[in-house]
Amino acid sequence: MPRVRLPITTERLVLRSFRPGDEDDVFAYRSVPSVVRYIPGEPKTREQVADLVAERATAGRIEEQSPNLTLAVELDGRVIGDVLLLLDGLGGRDGRQAEIGWVFAPDVAGRGYATEAARAITDAAFREVGVHRVWAELEPENTASSAVCERLGMRREAFFQKASWFKERWTDLAIYAIRADEWSGDQPVPTVSDELTETES
């Protein structure tokens, strides 16, 4: 199974495995209702956050039985969010496609961190894992995440009306994607608003 070399260092951020001691930082954003509005599950308890941190200490390995990689995003020693890389979502279990997602603390919104981290995990998917296509699934009303996808150079490939029963209501879905032959990975760090949410997995 593939492995991503860690840590991944960007201009401002470090993407790494979770480790003991991250729990307080992760709880600070994963427990906020507005932060989890567009991601599966409810605000997490401290116990659930402790389990998440323990489960995601994978050292970059993507295992066959659980083909996802969730990395802590660190800024100046603080975990401000996390990014997801999930192999074989949409498009079958061929190991050549990956879904990405992200979630960040609300107090760091508008500084481009989500785009910077999403670009780094997308680049790793193409260059290290060797996938053919990276995609994201989100509610169209989640305009912050739509903007992140567009900054990555993704196109909106599909729009499905009331196609998902999510958090007790029917929601629209949009699919954004980019292929390896389209990816350059050298887009500039954004300076526009980059509000923090996560695409649905």
pLDDT in tens, 32-81: 999 999 999 999 999 999 999 999 888 788 877 778 899 999 999 999 99
Query: Do the domain assignments include residue 199?
Result: no
pLDDT at position 194 is: 43
pTM value? Answer: 0.88
Number of structural domains in the chain: 1
Beta bridge partners of 100: 85
pLDDT at position 187 is: 53
Query: Do the domain assignments include residue 177?
Result: yes
Query: Do the domain assignments include residue 35?
Result: yes
Query: Do the domain assignments include residue 51?
Result: yes
Query: Do the domain assignments include residue 59?
Result: yes
Residue 183 contacts by C-beta under 8 Å, 6 or more apart in sequence? 122, 123, 126, 134, 153
Query: Do the domain assignments include residue 191?
Result: no
Q: Where does the chain show beta strands of DSSP type E?
A: 8-9, 14-16, 68-75, 78-87, 97-104, 133-138, 155-165, 170-179
User: Using one digit for the tens of pLDDT, what is the confidence trace for 130-164?
Assistant: 999 999 999 999 999 999 999 999 999 999 999 98
**How far, in Å, CA of 155 to CA of 136, rounded?**
10
User: Using one digit for the tens of pLDDT, what is the confidence trace for 1-43?
Assistant: 788 999 999 999 999 999 999 999 999 999 999 999 999 999 9
Query: Do the domain assignments include residue 198?
Result: no
pLDDT at position 93 is: 59
pLDDT at position 201 is: 34
**CATH code at 51?**
3.40.630.30
What are phi and psi for residue 47, nearest 5 degrees?
-65, -40
Domain containing residue 128: 8-182
Query: Do the domain assignments include residue 66?
Result: yes
